[in-house]
Amino acid sequence: MASPDRPQITLVTPPEIDLGAFPDALAAVLDGVAVACLRLALATRDEDSLLRAADACREVAHARDVPIVIEAHVTLAGRLGLDGVHLPDGARSVRKARAALGREAIVGAFCGATRHEGITAAEAGADYVAFGPAGETALGSGTRAPAELFAWWSEMIEIPVVAEGALTPGLVAVLAPVTDFFAFGEEVWRRPDPLAALRALAAAMG
């Protein structure tokens, strides 16, 4: 995941998806806004459901040259032909995931609002570190990741940083100069028109 001057977008799936409708909705969003990566983040632990969802989302994403990572399920990432994994437990699983998936896979880590956890994940081989929530939400511990954390990281650390969690156009505008990626999920899918919602957030990046 590259680190350009203007932030890029990681699109996060809803925790539950209807395979009869979601692939078309996903395709419409990916066709309407440039997305750098898709994260499959389902609440279910049922392997059959994960397999079917991954197959459907991978087909849509790869047809548009968008890499797709799966949240938490390291063992499934390779089996399903996905591009990597997003680890929600900070630095703890980074080395193991890297060893299992190889050097070419994307391995990212969500590190809450903790600078130390982010540094540890980066040193362990993470391709990116995500901090959040940026807004008011129960993501992670619920402790907000302040703009100062992103500013410090962008100045001091080369590994790309991702902002996520209850993002609004206002927050996006504030964080755009100091983050490499924004991860948008519920901010998009809970809206009546997901494409319009993502366009509004993207416009706030400047």
- Give the domain ranges of the chain: 8-203
Render pLDDT for 93-152 as a digit per residue (tens, 0 to 9). 999 999 999 999 999 999 999 999 999 999 999 999 999 999 987 655 668 999 999 999
Mean pLDDT taken over the chain:
95
pLDDT at 157 over 60: yes
pLDDT at 139: 57
Task: Enter the tokens of residue 125.
Answer: 């081989």
Q: Is 192 exposed, middle or buried (0-12, 13-18, 19+ CB in 10 A)?
A: exposed
- Better-predicted residue by pLDDT, 77 or 140: 77
Average pLDDT over residues 27-43: 98
- The partner residues of 183 in beta bridges, in order of sequence, read 10, 164
Q: Looking at the predicted structure, is the pLDDT value of residue 1 above 50?
A: no
State the burial class of residue 39 (Cβ atoms within 10 Å of its Cβ: 0-12, 13-18, 19+). buried
pLDDT of residue 2 exceeding 70, the answer is no
Percent of the chain with pLDDT over 70: 96
Calpha distance 9→29 (Å, rounded): 12
Peptide bond into 146 cis (omega under 30): no
Longest dimension (CA), the chain: 45
Residues 37 and 2: beta-carbon distance below 8 Å = no
Domain 8-203 has CATH 3.20.20.70: yes
List, for residues 164-186, the tens digit of each pLDDT value. Answer: 999 999 999 999 999 999 999 99
Report which of 7, 3, 79, 65 is spatially closest to residue 37, judged by C-alpha positions. 65
pLDDT grade, residue 68 (50/70/90)? Answer: very high
